[in-house]
Chain A
């Protein structure tokens, strides 16, 4: 029993931080080209795939370290959809498609919809993407379809600046791959979404603690006031537990443990609450500057909001957590 990250995992986490540090936003949810290329070069998209499938033989716990960093940076770009799409492509035997995704030449958008149903769909990061990962949580099912630019019916204004939102018509979309085991894809997705949420929670804690040491009012740093310092302590508890429960869930999936589904749901729910609460409190801790567009505090809140509505929403979490 050991939940301490290995040297490789710690190196990976700091490499991710370095790639994402100080980047300028590509605007409209697009990842800056430099970041995307560096991510592909470091193998973020191939990390969790088996060596025989052109992957790096990493674990889900390894991938979780990467996605915690992506969440903490509130980074733009369809990292998660591209990682999942590559897995679906591999499982369907579409080796070339998988290679295009893992090498970073092809980006994937994603949408939640019944596989043979609603059209048009609301999709995320469709601009600049060549394929769409369609996730049907009810069946469950996961399918990759081609999205030519002409499939975009309308570009919508996104609530979260880290993604773009568009409406797509899929009636003539070519199916490229169908996941045989969509349940696995959804459960891995849930862990990686949790990792990003844990990253958001941690980034909010760090931002509040740094600001509370610097900002002075009434002649002292605001961190000397318990109204602020106690909130920071609560944020620290939530973000530390969020990081730990993601690792616990990821290792449980890696080891195919019987309690993995419950732990994944626990991670998903806990990190969602932690990220939303920490992001909210972080804005309040910053006062008026935290209310501005210029400051990053709102980006964390919007990331948390977006991710909270990703795979495995609350009702599905509840069902998994209360399963006897």
Chain B
């Protein structure tokens, strides 16, 4: 049986790649590296960064002032990635990240966004009735906590630094990281209890 015809889109991609290489804009090796980094990225990276920030005040400072440098310090390749901003949750302020215009997401440290993050329902409701959205996730915050919605509209990508759960004194970074879920890094949840 004859092989199915090669889709025209693949031939087009080949021609685009050849042109980009010929112009010296990008090499095949660079694209392969980016693909590998994209596949490797997952919320575990963000969780490791948070766990380190909980135990290392100097790293916490770096994370809050230059998220990209903090990711690179953990061995994450941030070449070509947008700047990473990190939002610190406190006893009186909870951050919730949404991208109302599209689906901007800190992929370098969280991997691919979940489908709900890209849904019209989340994008329209998170910005307008964040407390109702959080309640549906099972997170009921008292009035004493300011809910700060962060609409990721432009060149930054945003990750939340959740609060360290009580009762975790003396835990090592790996154990702490196991409490930090993807949802906590987006702000629809808090870190898991000890």
Same assembly: no
Chain A residues packing against B (C-beta within 8 Å): none
